[in-house]
Amino acid sequence: MPSHHHKKNKDPHRRKHSHRHHLTSKQQQGPTDEGTEAEAEGPGSDDNSSMSVEREDASSISGNGSEVGSVGSRDQGDGASAVEPNLDGANVKWAGPVRAPLLSIKTELNIPLLLLTVVAMATRMWRLENPNSVVFDEMHFGRFASMYIRRTFFFDVHPPLGKLIIAFGAYLGDFSGNFTWERIGTDYPSAVPVWYLRLFPALFGSLLVPLTYQTTVELGYNHWTATLAGGMVLFENSLVTQSRFLLIDSFLLFFILATLLCLLKFWRLKHSPFSPSWWAWLAGTGAMLACACSVKYVGVFTVLLVGGMIFHELWNLVGDKRLSVHDLTSHFLARAGLLAVLPVLLYFLLFHLHLELANRSGPHDEMMTSAFQATLEGGLSRITKSQPVSIAYGSQITLRHTHGMFLGRPCWLHSHLSTYPVRYHDNRGSSAQQQVTCYSFKDINNWWIVKDPGRTTLYVDDPPKLIHHGDIIQLVHGTSSRALNSHNVAAPLSPYSQEVTCYIDYNISLPAQNLWRVELVDSADEGDTWKSIQSHVRLVHVNTSAALKVSGLQLPDWGFHQLEVVSDRVIQQEPTIWNVEEHKYTQVDQADVVGNNEETFNQATYEDTMDDQPLMGFLGKFAELQWKMLSTNKELQQEHKYSSSPAEWPLMERGVAYWLHPRTNAQIHFMGNPLVWWSGVVGILGYLTLLGVFLVRRRRACFDMDDESWQRYILTGELVLGGWVLHYVPFFLMERTLFLHHYLPALVFKILLLAVMVENIHTHVLRWPIHKNVFSALCAVWVTCIYFTYRKFAPLTYGNSDLSADEVTDLKWLESWDLLIQVL
């Protein structure tokens, strides 16, 4: 590599410039050639001069005015060249004054961009309705679309935007929502508009190709490089697969790349701050950020990327002495408002839309708190309609735990007729009383009646005798008529905790201890009256001062003895009962659930009813839903045959089986184009290697790049390589089940980096024309191989070929690829 001491390296290609150069006011004094046609200024010029010049040696123009095939020509996206125009030379004609017509239309046709877009549409939309059966996670997202159509509440670990877009396609297809998506492989009936359901994922996946092209151009690279980047996305099998079905990853990838494009467009206008275009692209960046986060929480990594780049930009602005404090404040507030406040507002708005559309009670209600359920039409809201707010002696209630009520599974205070054994398996003795557990399902055995210890009746007085903070009560189990009790006896699963039971009078020296003191945890906010749904109360055992917390069960405060039913092990495991014959605990079958219950009360005259109480507003519902989504995401740790670790992703060591024809080897297997994935690793290593070499040489005053090219190279590393790191490395810290498709955002960044590395090597590493020609020929062969590799693996992408066992084996390039072969 030749060295150039104490001077910038001038690329010979940079002598070719854009063919329209605008004069400054000092250069407008020359004569005018009458034969020269006047031309209006295009967008992207840096001044408002009224004169223009043209070169006689005009050549072909592509897209937005940059020369096709010129390595040195750097298109800036809006027609502005990164290289200052050189007006010296004899072949310059002077033009007369420019007067733009009152009405004019300027059209530009970018052939590579147009071809990429058309082919992308074809590859993603071709035979979109096939296979006509449920593929992989269509089972989930299709079900969510059905619930939107039926206005039914559902719970999912992902934010709502992706599902809302799919539901909009279902609406356009006049889908009634009557298909259940029970399992993968189920055939779609004719009433399901499969094409419409898959339309928007395919559309967004198609637009990802031209978006990649435009982003590469905005980074400052030429159209050949942009075409290469778009082509690799176009013929990337994994991106095609993920775009053709009811999956939300194509939305996520689109919004992530759209965020980058808007950010780059915004930076191109740094010399025109606070102009309408400047505000528009800044707002677009914030809006795309919000959309990315509203599809999947992976969008948060994009927020970190953009936030870091904006912080770096602001830091540079602080060092600009030409800016006043007022200017700096304006820059900061503009970015804070449109990159922080606007995304948050849009995120809230999308959740508000989600809750407005899915506002009816459904099968996922029991995962939410009672206050949340009461806001949904039907279900609990129907049961609590006209019911009293305050709890009185004689009220019939269910008690749900509040410990981590936004996290984990719901749990109700529960009892049944089974009793604890006289002796446990470790030979410890017990009270042999009726079992009390924390049960995760709605059941008739969750019902309790609040009883006045001084009376024998179980009905509500008229007027009702309300229960206040500090009152002493008994809780009578609704189906067995036995009172909630506790003794200083070791619990079955936690010997250091205290057993909780329903008392059975065996006429032995073990008297009942069934009195409980009501302590309102939130009495300062809600008053001293126990209120249904709204109040969180602690029940303190009068005899032993051990605590139980109502709305369910809760770990006791410091100073109280822990009761068995509040043990984490009991709350988190499936409900168990003592099996007398096998002398061990066995799980309660979910099929044993015999009823459906919610908080309700005996009818009586009350001053306030539930209809008059706003139980939970939007912010409360939003907060509960967020916590529930985040906690459930962490709990997704089930073993799966096709799960993989992040270390296996860069080289695509494992794929994922999406669908298999029931009678042939036709299948859809999620896997990428091996040449793109493996070449991308070389691109990352190549960037880091060249960065190290260039840094050392620049330290030695050997400048292989001019300042503009060097700044572009550094920006590529910060934005593209940084994007790959932020969208890949955090997965190593996650404990949830992961699949290869989680790597797709990082893959898009890797493709961008690979494409721009090709241009950097061609321009700044290879100096001799023969080397450049050989490198270009090798790149042509490599791109051709990418296309043929895409074609080879297309049967696994589209699932449209009845493969033989030998053909499937031939596609298994790595032993770790679990392709499916049926014995026919």
Say what percent of the chain tops pLDDT 70.
Answer: 76
Tokens read off for 428: 């410890």
DSSP calls for 502-555: E----SSS------EEEEETTHHHH-SB-BTTT--EEEEETTT--EEEESS--P
Q: Is 181 left (phi over 0), alpha (psi -120 to 50) or beta?
A: left
Q: Is the pLDDT of residue 814 over 50?
A: yes
Mean pLDDT score of the chain? 79
Cα angle 312, 317, 322; round to 5? 165
Q: Is the pLDDT of residue 80 over 80?
A: no
Residue range 155-173: mean pLDDT, rounded: 95
Q: Is the pLDDT of residue 325 over 60?
A: yes
Beta-carbon-side half-sphere exposure of residue 121 (alpha carbons within 13 Å): 5
Question: In angstroms, rounded to a whole number, what is the distance separating the alpha carbons of residues 332 and 265?
Answer: 18
- Higher pLDDT among residues 446 and 196, named by residue: 196
Beta bridge partner(s), residue 538 = 519, 549
Closest CA to 126 of 236, 202, 205: 202
**Cβ-Cβ contacts under 8 Å for 247 (sequence gap 6 or more):** 136, 137, 138, 141, 201
- Most confident residue range from 41-55, 502-516, 663-677: 663-677
pLDDT value at residue 610: 59
Q: Per-residue confidence at 335, pLDDT binned at 50, 70, 90?
A: very high
Q: Among 73-82, 300-309, 421-430, 641-650, where is mean pLDDT lowest?
A: 73-82
- Higher pLDDT among residues 253 and 392, named by residue: 253
Q: Can you say whether the dihedral through the CA atoms of 434, 437, 443, 447 is positive or negative?
A: positive
One-letter amino acid at 824 equals L
User: Exposed, middle or buried, 375 (CB in 10 Å: 0-12/13-18/19+)?
Assistant: buried
Say what percent of the chain tops pLDDT 90.
Answer: 52
Helix (H, G, I), strand (E, B) or coil at 353: helix
Residue range 208-217: mean pLDDT, rounded: 97
pLDDT value at residue 381: 67
Q: Is the pLDDT of residue 824 over 70?
A: no
Cis ω on the peptide bond leading into residue 131 (within 30° of 0)?
Answer: yes
Residue whose token pair is 């932020």:
726
Question: In angstroms, rounded to a whole number, what is the distance separating the alpha carbons of residues 762 and 554?
Answer: 66
Residue range 415-439: mean pLDDT, rounded: 82
* pLDDT tens figures, 525-557: 556 888 887 777 888 888 888 877 433 333 333
pLDDT value at residue 549: 46
Q: Is the pLDDT of residue 763 over 90?
A: yes
What is the DSSP secondary structure assignment for residue 426, as one 8-state letter? Answer: T
Residue range 787-814: mean pLDDT, rounded: 94
Tokens read off for 457: 């009746």
DSSP calls for 233-291: HHT-HHHHHHHSSS-SHHHHHHHHHHHHHHHHHHHHTTTSTTSHHHHHHHHHHHHHHHH
Q: Per-residue confidence at 564, pLDDT binned at 50, 70, 90?
A: very low
* pLDDT tens figures, 131-146: 999 999 999 999 999 9
pLDDT value at residue 730: 95
pLDDT value at residue 383: 66
* pLDDT tens figures, 220-245: 999 999 999 999 999 999 999 999 99
Q: Is the pLDDT of residue 66 over 80?
A: no
Q: Is the pLDDT of residue 64 over 80?
A: no
Element (H, E) at 627: helix 618-635
- Higher pLDDT among residues 130 and 100, named by residue: 130
Q: Per-residue confidence at 167, pLDDT binned at 50, 70, 90?
A: very high
pLDDT value at residue 382: 66
Question: In angstroms, rounded to a whole number, what is the distance separating the alpha carbons of residues 360 and 321?
Answer: 58
Tokens read off for 294: 């509203």
Q: Per-residue confidence at 15, pLDDT binned at 50, 70, 90?
A: very low
pLDDT value at residue 515: 92
Tokens read off for 230: 């778009």
pLDDT value at residue 519: 86
Residue 396 CA, distance from chain mean position: 42
* pLDDT tens figures, 454-511: 888 888 887 888 888 889 999 999 889 999 998 878 777 666 677 888 999 887 778 8
pLDDT value at residue 526: 54
pLDDT value at residue 27: 40
Q: Is the pLDDT of residue 305 over 70?
A: yes
Q: Per-residue confidence at 696, pLDDT binned at 50, 70, 90?
A: very high
Beta-carbon-side half-sphere exposure of residue 697 (alpha carbons within 13 Å): 20
Beta-carbon-side half-sphere exposure of residue 202 (alpha carbons within 13 Å): 23
Q: Is the pLDDT of residue 417 over 90?
A: no
pLDDT value at residue 525: 55
* pLDDT tens figures, 697-728: 999 999 989 999 999 999 999 999 999 999 99
- Higher pLDDT among residues 367 and 599, named by residue: 367
Question: In angstroms, rounded to a whole number, what is the distance separating the alpha carbons of residues 741 and 200?
Answer: 19
Closest CA to 667 of 656, 677, 653, 678: 656
Q: Is the pLDDT of residue 247 over 90?
A: yes
pLDDT value at residue 351: 96
pTM of the model: 0.77
pLDDT value at residue 280: 96
Q: Is the pLDDT of residue 104 over 70?
A: no
pLDDT value at residue 48: 38
The 3-state secondary structure of 288-337, one letter per residue = HHHHHHHHCCCHHHHHHHHHHHHHHHHHHHHCCCCCCHHHHHHHHHHHHH
One-letter amino acid at 510 equals L
**Cβ-Cβ contacts under 8 Å for 293 (sequence gap 6 or more):** 159, 299, 300, 302, 303, 343, 347
